Amino acid sequence: MAMESAINDSLDYMGKRVILATAMGGLAGGCLAVHRGHSIATLANSMARSWALTATAGVATQQLAYGVLARTAWPPKTQEQKNALILASHALGGISGGSVLGFLYIQKPLRGIVLMAPLMVAVGLAEVRFQERQRQLLLLQDAEPVKPTLNVDGSRALPPPPDEHEAERGKPW
């Protein structure tokens, strides 16, 4: 049962990213077609398929690397280790996916690696930072609930005006 859940989570993760890349590729292709004066549908469709293939190669190999590393060589115990695992799996996904794409498109795997590895590491870094920001927001939300104060007429009360001496004491007001 746990294995099915992990596989479903990986497929969900990959599906979201491939759909996003396909949409971005279609939009980029449409913009490029307008700029060049070509057929919008043809170029947008071609670019969307190309971006979808690129995202599939990168994300599928990243998820494979994440699964192998997390279950065998490097099971994460702390959040820092999980972040490092995410970055390492994105780097491995960029290397392996980039080599596949480089071979498919131009028959030179190293060129694909040079292009995809930094992109995948950047995506991994963005993912780690996004998760950190989500955690911070959840901690702030749980820390202290803000109770709005209301005026007599039912409108929200404004905070008290800053004291002229508070700036001298280092207060943010």
Mean pLDDT, consecutive 10-residue stretches, the chain (173 aa), reads 73 88 94 93 94 91 88 81 91 93 91 92 94 87 64 65 59 50
Please report the sign of the dihedral spanned by the C-alpha atoms of residue 88, residue 92, residue 98, residue 104: negative
> Is residue 29 a contact partner of residue 52, using CB atoms and an 8 Å limit?
no
pLDDT of residue 170: 56
pLDDT of residue 97: 92
pLDDT of residue 139: 83
Look at residues 91, 94, 115, 112 and name the one whose alpha carbon lies nearest to residue 103: 112
What pTM value is reported for the model? 0.70
pLDDT of residue 81: 87
- Taking the C-alpha atoms of residue 111 and residue 94, their distance in angstroms, rounded to an integer, is 12
pLDDT of residue 161: 61
